[in-house]
Amino acid sequence: MKKAIFLDRATPPHIFTLVIAAGLSALTMNLILPSMPSIAAYYGADYALVQLAISGYLAITGLLQLVVGPLSDRFGRRPVMIASLVIFLIATALAPFAPTIETFLAIRMVQAAVVSGMVLSRAIVRDIVDADRAASMIGYVTMGMTLAPMIGPALGGLFDEIFGWQSTFALLFVFGLAGLALTFADLGETNLNRSSSMLKQFGAYPELFRSRRFWGYTLTATFASGAFFSFLGGGPFVATEILGMSASELGLYFIITALGYMGGNFLSGRFAQRVGINRMMAAGCLVAALGMTLSLLLFLAGFSHPLSFFGPIFFLGVGNGVTLPSANAGIVSVRPHLAGSASGLGGAITIGGGAVLSSMAGAALTPTSGPYPLILIMLVSSLLGVLSTLYVIRVERSLAPEARIEDAS
């Protein structure tokens, strides 16, 4: 592998470029979270409908990943990334002017094109390094992109209170434009073995579906992410309606989760290559489950304070930061020649599961329910992540070394 030289498309992309590409996708998800109540009030819509800006957005990103991966395997990572960012910028410019909540939600769904940054950053990493190094590098990329959910809700809450919710989309447009310029200047093509046809790439999905290891890694990522997406779907309601927090307070408390996620990503980058991806996943899921157990116990003991909710979610962040880089590295390494398709399919399943759990969390919460439905959904999802990791370990132990490489199942 050539050494990455910043802004030189003849060398692999600089890690900063991958951080920005993936981070823009995360920022688009998180920036509007504190504005959800304001958007509901502006359009006179029920919160459950406005919540589709999160759960519906997640569902569309899941579907798009089914297409983005194969497209990049066929036509290359660079053109797909650039086209997706252009579509994202158009939707972002239109969103503040939507006349109805239905139009707003439709434009919000188009914004999901930015998910290519997250999908292709993983595939690009796998293009240039092997599986264990991919887990380490993805950990560092994810650690850097954690700045987006760390500062996103805080910035979004501040802009919402000072300038109104529409200003968050103006901010997103500026970030998106900068991301497009950087991608154009630094991202050369890393897919040097392109598929001969799109049909061939879509035809690879049955091969991936037959892989038990692919399912194990994907389900681990799904349940680990699902706990966090449940938090995104129900957290704003718990904060504002149950704990009485303002939009700016909610944004600041989100930093706790992001700090945990960044810490977990650092641990992943530091130890994944040495410890191995399976043990990293098991440790991460256990830490997340313990965090949600602590939150449940605090509320049952009568400590109804924002820190009883957001404090233990720090450990959910740590757990996800440890788990997801390794799970994603596993997904794209089961069939290295199908890295883009595997990243897209695995991401689609992961995001789709997250959308379901996010909707469940939003629907289960009422002003009188307390935070318990959300905490229980997050706890169960984390525990299912542990079981999925144990399944991967069991499958790997049952395979001969040569079969492990080919994943004959």
Task: Round to the nearest angstrom and report the end-to-end CA distance of the chain.
Answer: 32
What is the structure's pLDDT at 257?
A: 82
**How far is Cα 106 from Cα 87, in angstroms, rounded to an integer?**
14
- Checking if the pLDDT of 2 tops 70, the result is no
Per-residue pLDDT averaged across 329-345, rounded?
77
Give me the pLDDT at residue 401, please: 55
Domain architecture of the chain: domains with CATH: 15-188+201-406 (1.20.1250.20)
- 294 or 31: whose pLDDT is higher? 294
State the pLDDT at residue 295.
Answer: 96
Q: What is the rounded CA–CA span in Å between residue 223 and residue 353? A: 8
Query: Highest mean pLDDT: which of 40-44, 124-128, 130-134?
Result: 40-44
Residues 197-214: tens digit of each pLDDT:
666 666 767 888 888 899
Query: Tokens 């914004």 identify what position?
Result: 111
Average pLDDT, the chain: 85
pLDDT tens-digit map of 78-109: 999 999 999 999 999 999 999 999 999 999 99
Distances (CA, A) of 95 to 98, 154, 171: 6, 20, 12
Tell me: pLDDT of 294 over 80: yes
Distance CA 98, CA 166 (A): 10
> To 10 degrees, the CA torsion angle through 284, 384, 345, 333?
40
Compute, in degrees rounded to 10, the torsion defined by CA atoms 336, 82, 326, 53: -130
Do 120 and 68 contact (CB within 8 A), yes or no?
yes
pLDDT at residue 319, as a whole number = 94
pLDDT at 332 over 70: yes
For residues 25 and 52, give the distance between their C-alpha atoms in angstroms, rounded to a whole number. Answer: 17
The more confidently predicted of residues 134 and 104 is 104
Cα-based distances in Å from 322 to 326, 358, 380, 404: 7, 21, 18, 23
Distance, CA of 329 to CA of 137 (rounded, Å) = 9
Amino acid at 22: A
Which DSSP string do the residues of 180-233 spell out, in sequence order?
A: HHHHHHH------S--S-HHHHHTHHHHHHT-HHHHHHHHHHHHHHHHHHHHHH
Of 13-27, 126-140, 319-333, 347-361, give the lowest mean pLDDT range.
126-140
Backbone phi, then psi, for 262, in 5-degree steps? Answer: -65, -40
Minimum mean pLDDT among 221-230, 265-274, 277-286, 368-377: which range? 265-274
Q: Token pair of 204, please?
A: 């690879």
Q: Phi and psi dihedrals of 372, rounded to 5?
A: -60, -45
- Checking if the pLDDT of 174 tops 90, the result is yes
Task: Pick the range with the lowest mean pLDDT from 250-254, 256-260, 384-388.
Answer: 250-254
Residue 25: pLDDT over 90 = no
